[in-house]
Amino acid sequence: MLTRWFLGPLVPDNVRALERASYFGAYKGVTDVLTKYLWPEWALVLTRVAARLGVTPNQVTALGAVLCLAATFLFYEGWYWTGLAAGLGFMVLDTVDGKLARCTITSSKIGEAFDHGIDLVHPPFWWWAWGVGLHAYGRPLEADLFWWTLAAIVGGYVVQRLIEGAFIARFGMHIHVWRRFDSRFRLVTARRNPNMVILLAFLAVGRPDWGLLAVAGWTVASLVVHAVQLVQAMAARARGEQVVSWLA
């Protein structure tokens, strides 16, 4: 991530501009479509309010964790719209806690582990709960299809994460910052936020079951893309080419 420096007089008329510069300076340039385009301004407002009230990043993460658990329970019961509302709150707070920590210089190893641990662990539980909730909603999948779908989603998620880790270990950077295509694909790759868009779209037409199947299909497709990216990078290095970020 590039370090951004900014300088300005700390006077009342300039406070909000400096806050904004600090906030967007801590914002990821390569992320998913929702985090990048939908809620930066929402999260800015919440980050500013939290900083003024003296709320700590870990408190924001804890509140987000409560909403994350609530969303899991609501999906399990087939209350998808309420669950999506809780999930949306969690996803926004998942942006706020990190920005608050950086902008107020209150980052900690414990807080980082807490935040990233939740991010890493909860998605498979959401997809499982969504699938179980189909019974209550009235659109259950057959048992075999349900478990194959879940295996594709969870297995694809785990392997995709392993590929990302292998890329970092081998090339010293995230797979999403190698080429322009890789950064653009990060906007929609089968992570939590893009998957939630898929589920929302199918829920809007009354077919949350199709939504889960679509997430499984997109997870497998994204896994194939990541595997190809890793192979291409290894082949490029074998040819003596430098594998460096296009953002460098």
pLDDT of residue 3: 47
If asked whether residues 88 and 181 sit together in one domain, one would say no
- State the pTM of this model: 0.88
pLDDT over 70 for what percent of the chain?
A: 90
- The whole domain housing 161 covers 141-248
pLDDT of residue 106: 83
pLDDT of residue 42: 87
Sequence-separated (6 or more) residues with CB below 8 Å from residue 182: 175, 176, 229
Among 89, 123, 140, the domain-final residue is: 140
Structure tokens at 168: 């970092």
pLDDT of residue 104: 83
Question: What is the CATH number for 91?
Answer: 1.20.120.1760
Among 140, 159, 194, the domain-final residue is: 140
167 pLDDT higher than 80: yes
User: CA 187, CA 32: separation in Å to the nearest integer?
Assistant: 4
Average pLDDT, the chain: 91
1 pLDDT higher than 60: no
Structure tokens at 52: 């003024």
pLDDT of residue 2: 43
- Average pLDDT of the residues in 175-189: 96
Structure tokens at 103: 């902008």
Write down the H helix ranges in 138-207. 143-171, 180-186, 192-204
Count CA within 13 A, CB hemisphere, residue 226: 27
Residue 107 CB-density burial (10 A; 0-12 exposed, 13-18 middle, 19+ buried): middle
Judge whether 163 lies within some domain.
yes
Residues 230/163, Cβ–Cβ less than 8 Å:
yes
Structure tokens at 235: 């082949």
pLDDT of residue 27: 59
If asked whether residues 162 and 95 sit together in one domain, one would say no
User: CA 106, CA 59: separation in Å to the nearest integer?
Assistant: 12
- Band the pLDDT of 203: cuts 50, 70, 90: very high
User: CA 106, CA 165: separation in Å to the nearest integer?
Assistant: 27
Structure tokens at 186: 């990060």
Each residue's pLDDT tens digit, 56-83: 999 999 999 999 999 999 999 999 999 9
- Average pLDDT of the residues in 45-58: 92
Among 89, 120, 140, the domain-final residue is: 140
If asked whether residues 170 and 229 sit together in one domain, one would say yes
User: CA 242, CA 232: separation in Å to the nearest integer?
Assistant: 12
User: CA 90, CA 86: separation in Å to the nearest integer?
Assistant: 6
Each residue's pLDDT tens digit, 108-161: 888 888 888 898 899 999 999 999 999 999 999 999 999 999 999 999 999 999
User: CA 28, CA 95: separation in Å to the nearest integer?
Assistant: 10
4 pLDDT higher than 60: no
Judge whether 5 lies within some domain.
no
If asked whether residues 110 and 182 sit together in one domain, one would say no
pLDDT of residue 213: 98
pLDDT of residue 13: 66
Judge whether 2 lies within some domain.
no
Count CA within 13 A, CB hemisphere, residue 200: 12
DSSP secondary structure letters along 195-245? HHHHHHHHHHTT-HHHHHHHHHHHHHHHHHHHHHHHHHHHHHHHTT-----
The better pLDDT of the pair 86, 15 is held by: 86
pLDDT of residue 185: 97
- Which uninterrupted H or E stretch holds 66? helix 57-76
Q: Which residue has the tokens 């653009």?
A: 184
The better pLDDT of the pair 192, 109 is held by: 192
